[in-house]
């Protein structure tokens, strides 16, 4: 349901994306991990079920920053958007370094703490990503305004995404393809800029029913591939076991696009009660601060992990982190000097 002020379907997707991030960040140190094949398959199924989180965050941002009807300019980005990112980064990085050193007892000295302060805690990479996307938004907005240019950009993104993520591992042609891609330097359509524009393209485009259903079918197939591929397919030498679940893999792109499309095209038609709308809006407003603060709770819970089965421990951990970060952010937003850092 859309109101004059909020688009609740995107608010809800933003909240679910945060929950998915928390599942990915959940610490399993001390928990009992499965050793049987079915248990390992379930781990990959859960991972495949949340790996859309950051792509959906980026697509939601793209829907708003690339909308031609919104007043997004170079000036507004440098006056409002980037300063908020910088303030939040400085504050939370200053919080996390002593937290890791004195509470979690990480073996760090002052030099390494300062170096780590400059790059932030491990989840704060997203602030650098979103700041970079804000910086290139004025360059992408003219493309977003033109349907043909947008679709051309998307076609290049999907092609180059496949070639750089999977094509370079194909037998017999991998070396040559790597060299060709290195010579071509088509970086403009690679990585998260594609997700950024995709968020606006899906939002704007009126898909025929067959195309929408086809995207959902591809998304489901991509989820199955991510799950079973991660559990059973061999990964290239030197790669992590979660090779198929990385954010930029083509299967994750399809899964993320399908889920985002479902919320934009279908969930948007729902009529939420007044109470549900208020809760969704509130949690969406707290989302940024919850993302930045939830690691405080997840890391602290490592000290109290009771050694129970990981499938029981992670939901408990995520619930505590979600509620704790929501309360903390709500409190910080009521302190005048701190409301802008969350």
- Predicted pLDDT of residue 1: 40
- Predicted pLDDT of residue 194: 96
Whether 124 is in a domain gets the answer: yes
**How remote is the C-alpha of 166 from its chain's centroid?**
21
For Cα atoms 139, 122, 117, give the angle at the middle one, nearest 5 degrees.
90
Number of helical (H) and strand (E) elements in the chain, helices listed first: 14, 0
Alpha-carbon distances of 92 from 210, 284, 331, rounded to whole Å:
46, 19, 15
Whether 125 is in a domain gets the answer: yes
**Segments forming the whole domain that contains residue 116:** 53-270
Whether 37 is in a domain gets the answer: no
Whether 290 is in a domain gets the answer: no
Q: From 190, 264, 203, 205, select the one nearest 70 (Cα to Cα).
A: 203
- List the structure tokens of 219: 């998304």
- Predicted pLDDT of residue 77: 96
Q: Could you tell me which residues come within 8 angstroms of residue 336 by beta carbon, excluding any fewer than 6 positions away?
A: none
Inter-residue contact 249 to 166 (CB < 8 Å): yes
Whether 192 is in a domain gets the answer: yes
DSSP type of residue 122: T
Taking only the tens of pLDDT, the chain with its 342 residues reads 444 457 999 999 999 999 999 999 987 666 667 778 888 899 999 999 999 999 999 999 999 999 999 999 999 999 999 999 999 999 999 999 989 888 887 777 777 888 889 999 999 999 999 999 999 999 999 999 999 999 999 999 999 999 999 999 998 898 999 999 989 888 888 889 999 999 999 999 999 999 999 999 999 999 999 999 988 999 888 888 889 999 999 999 999 999 999 999 999 999 999 999 999 999 999 999 999 999 999 999 888 877 778 888 899 999 999 999 999 999 999 999 898 998
Whether 288 is in a domain gets the answer: no
- Predicted pLDDT of residue 31: 66
pTM assigned to the model = 0.93
Whether 299 is in a domain gets the answer: no
Whether 163 is in a domain gets the answer: yes
Report how far residue 231's alpha carbon sits from residue 342's, in angstroms, rounded to the nearest whole number.
38
Determine the 3-state secondary structure of 307 from DSSP: coil
Report how far residue 229's alpha carbon sits from residue 248's, in angstroms, rounded to the nearest whole number.
15
Determine the 3-state secondary structure of 17 from DSSP: helix
Characterise 7 by phi-psi region: left (phi > 0), alpha (psi -120 to 50), beta (else): beta
Task: Please provide the DSSP assignment of 252-301 as one string.
Answer: HHHHHHHHHHHHHHTGGG----HHHHHHHHHHHHHHHHHHHHHHHHHHHH
- List the structure tokens of 116: 């780590």
Alpha-carbon distances of 284 from 175, 225, 300, 310, 342, rounded to whole Å:
45, 31, 24, 28, 12
User: What is the total count of domains within the chain?
Assistant: 1
């Amino acid at each position: 349901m859309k109101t004059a002020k909020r688009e609740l379907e995107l608010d809800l997707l933003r909240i679910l994306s945060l929950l998915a991030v928390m599942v990915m960040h959940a610490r399993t140190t001390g928990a009992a991990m499965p050793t049987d094949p079915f248990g390992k398959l379930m781990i990959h199924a859960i991972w495949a079920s949340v790996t859309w989180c950051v792509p959906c965050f980026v697509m939601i941002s793209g829907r708003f920053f690339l909308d031609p009807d919104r007043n997004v300019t170079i000036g507004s980005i440098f006056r409002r958007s980037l300063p908020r990112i910088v303030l939040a980064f400085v504050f939370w990085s200053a919080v996390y370094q002593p937290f890791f050193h004195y509470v979690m007892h990480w073996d760090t000295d002052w030099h390494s703490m300062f170096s780590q302060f400059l790059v932030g805690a491990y989840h704060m990479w997203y602030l650098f990503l979103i700041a970079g996307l804000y910086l290139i938004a004025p360059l992408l907005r003219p493309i977003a305004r033109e349907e043909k240019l947008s679709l051309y950009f998307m076609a290049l993104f999907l092609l180059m995404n496949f070639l750089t993520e999977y094509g370079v591992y194909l037998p017999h042609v991998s070396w040559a393809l790597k060299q060709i891609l290195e010579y071509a330097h088509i970086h403009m359509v690679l990585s998260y800029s594609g997700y950024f524009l995709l968020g606006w393209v899906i939002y704007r485009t009126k898909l025929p029913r067959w195309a929408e259903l086809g995207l959902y079918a591809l998304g489901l197939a991509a989820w199955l591939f991510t799950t079973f591929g991660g559990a059973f397919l061999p990964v290239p030498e030197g790669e992590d076991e979660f090779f198929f679940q990385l954010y930029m893999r083509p299967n994750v792109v399809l899964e993320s696009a399908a889920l985002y499309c479902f919320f934009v095209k279908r969930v948007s038609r729902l009529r939420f009660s007044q109470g549900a709308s208020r809760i969704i809006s509130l949690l969406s407003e707290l989302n940024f601060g919850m993302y930045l603060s939830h690691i405080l709770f997840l890391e602290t819970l490592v000290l109290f992990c009771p050694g129970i089965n990981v499938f029981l421990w992670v939901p408990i951990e995520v619930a505590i982190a979600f509620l704790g970060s929501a309360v903390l952010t709500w409190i910080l937003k009521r302190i005048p000097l701190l409301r802008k850092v969350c």
